[in-house]
């Protein structure tokens, strides 16, 4: 069920789970033009409230930028101290990593931009905040370059080790959800996992049999040694589940897409939920842990006329997912259907006491009865 929509061609980031009200940051997407051939770019913030009437999200802030964005992330740095709403980081198409104070941005203060980090070559398409140290930001650009920024002292970034060879663009970075010094990177045809204590790669994953082009990597929310790799190659549009303890071949292969996969996101609130989108114009919700050959589809969300290129779960409302499409829209869907309430934050337990997958797998009213509003 579609609950909200923003008419923007943008890369987006949800506000952290402890932030209320819920916001969605939208940075004008790089390498894309609208019907007017406009070259303007901006970072905008919208308020997400599913109880508001209509599909529109209320805009709360906008700042013009000199560059368009290949990736946007929202971290919780300083939420207990100086930055009440955390920080927003954007990777641009010309090698910059720009950082804003989210609270000052929402308040429309002129000094909202904190940093302009200029060390990369090529587009910065990979960004991720460390799950344990919110001041640590990993960024990836061209020439296999990965940089680790301490946002409290960003003068000299670190590297996880020597550049991976052969040289290639870094397309995705993902910090491990259980072990704070482990970082995974995706580079076209391979995945490299780094141990920051040793400053070197500890394993390189590549499937020579299927020859997939690994564009994306994401860690299992609860199992430290498991990760997913997805391929954007139309000849092998698969998502592979790997366990680094048995890295000779993937444990499982999800095969329901018919063309290359452009984005995927694993729910941190419920490990039995994975969302993916591809060039087959499908937006699929899986149970990646189900023992079903080819993968178990639990839900297929409706999409427009153009492909979705980015999907993300909402940290505060874990039954909501955003989908950015090439037709100039950011849509927010609920996988639960019906009316929604903003989830109250419970810091002593998981966001939801009952996993979302319980409803999807055992309550027939929600199975594949999705419709657009």
Helix (H) or strand (E) segment spanning residue 22: strand 22-28
User: How crowded is residue 344: how many other Cβ atoms within 10 Å of its Cβ?
Assistant: 8
**How long a stretch of residues is the chain?**
373
User: How crowded is residue 214: how many other Cβ atoms within 10 Å of its Cβ?
Assistant: 24
The CA distance from 55 to 330, in Å, is 11
- pLDDT of the residue at 83: 72
Q: 360 in helix, strand or coil?
A: helix
Q: Longest Cα pair distance anywhere in the chain, in angstroms?
A: 55
- pLDDT of the residue at 35: 67
- pLDDT of the residue at 297: 95
- pLDDT of the residue at 165: 87
Q: Are 356 and 269 in contact (CB under 8 A)?
A: yes
The CA distance from 176 to 202, in Å, is 14
The CA distance from 112 to 265, in Å, is 29
Q: Are 30 and 96 in contact (CB under 8 A)?
A: no
The CA distance from 226 to 189, in Å, is 19
Residue with tokens 């993300």: 312
- pLDDT of the residue at 214: 83
Residue with tokens 């670190």: 158
Residue 229, class by beta-carbon neighbours within 10 Å (0-12 exposed, 13-18 middle, 19+ buried)?
buried
10-residue mean pLDDT profile of the chain (373 residues): values are 94 96 96 77 96 94 96 93 88 96 95 96 96 97 96 95 90 97 92 95 80 88 97 93 92 95 96 96 95 93 89 96 94 73 40 47 36 38
- pLDDT of the residue at 279: 95
The pTM is what? 0.89
């Amino acid at each position: 069920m579609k609950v909200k929509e923003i008419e923007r061609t943008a890369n987006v980031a949800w506000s952290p789970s402890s932030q209320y009200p819920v916001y969605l940051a939208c940075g004008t997407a790089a390498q894309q033009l609208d019907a007017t051939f406009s070259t303007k770019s901006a970072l905008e913030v919208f308020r997400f409230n599913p109880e508001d009437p209509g599909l529109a999200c209320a805009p709360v802030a906008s700042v013009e930028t000199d560059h368009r964005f290949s990736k946007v992330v929202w971290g919780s740095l300083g939420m207990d101290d100086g930055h009440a709403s955390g920080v927003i980081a954007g990777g641009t198409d010309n090698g910059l990593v720009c950082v804003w104070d989210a609270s000052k941005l929402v308040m429309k203060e002129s000094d909202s931009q904190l940093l302009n980090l200029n060390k990369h070559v090529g587009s910065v398409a990979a960004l991720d905040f460390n799950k344990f140290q919110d001041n640590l930001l990993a960024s990836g650009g061209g020439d296999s370059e990965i940089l680790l920024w301490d946002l409290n002292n960003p003068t000299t970034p670190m590297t996880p080790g020597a550049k991976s060879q052969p040289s290639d663009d870094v397309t995705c970075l993902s910090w491990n959800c259980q072990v704070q010094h482990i970082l995974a990177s995706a580079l076209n045809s391979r995945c490299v996992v780094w141990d920051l204590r040793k400053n070197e790669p500890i394993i390189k994953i590549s499937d020579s049999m299927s020859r997939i082009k690994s564009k994306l990597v994401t860690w299992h929310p609860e199992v430290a040694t498991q990760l997913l790799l997805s391929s954007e190659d139309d000849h092998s549009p698969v998502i592979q589940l790997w366990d680094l303890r048995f890295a000779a071949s993937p444990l499982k292969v999800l095969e329901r897409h018919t063309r290359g996969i452009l984005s995927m996101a694993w729910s941190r609130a419920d490990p039995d939920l994975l969302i993916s989108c591809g060039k087959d114009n499908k937006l699929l919700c899986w149970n990646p842990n189900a023992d079903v050959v080819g993968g178990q589809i639990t839900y297929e969300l409706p999409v427009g006329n153009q492909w979705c290129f980015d999907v993300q779960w909402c940290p505060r409302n874990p039954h909501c997912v955003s989908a950015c499409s090439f037709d100039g829209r950011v849509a927010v869907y609920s996988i639960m259907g019906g009316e929604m309430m903003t989830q109250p934050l419970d810091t002593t337990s998981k966001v939801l006491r009952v996993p979302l997958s319980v409803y999807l797998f055992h309550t027939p009213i929600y199975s594949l009865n999705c419709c657009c509003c």
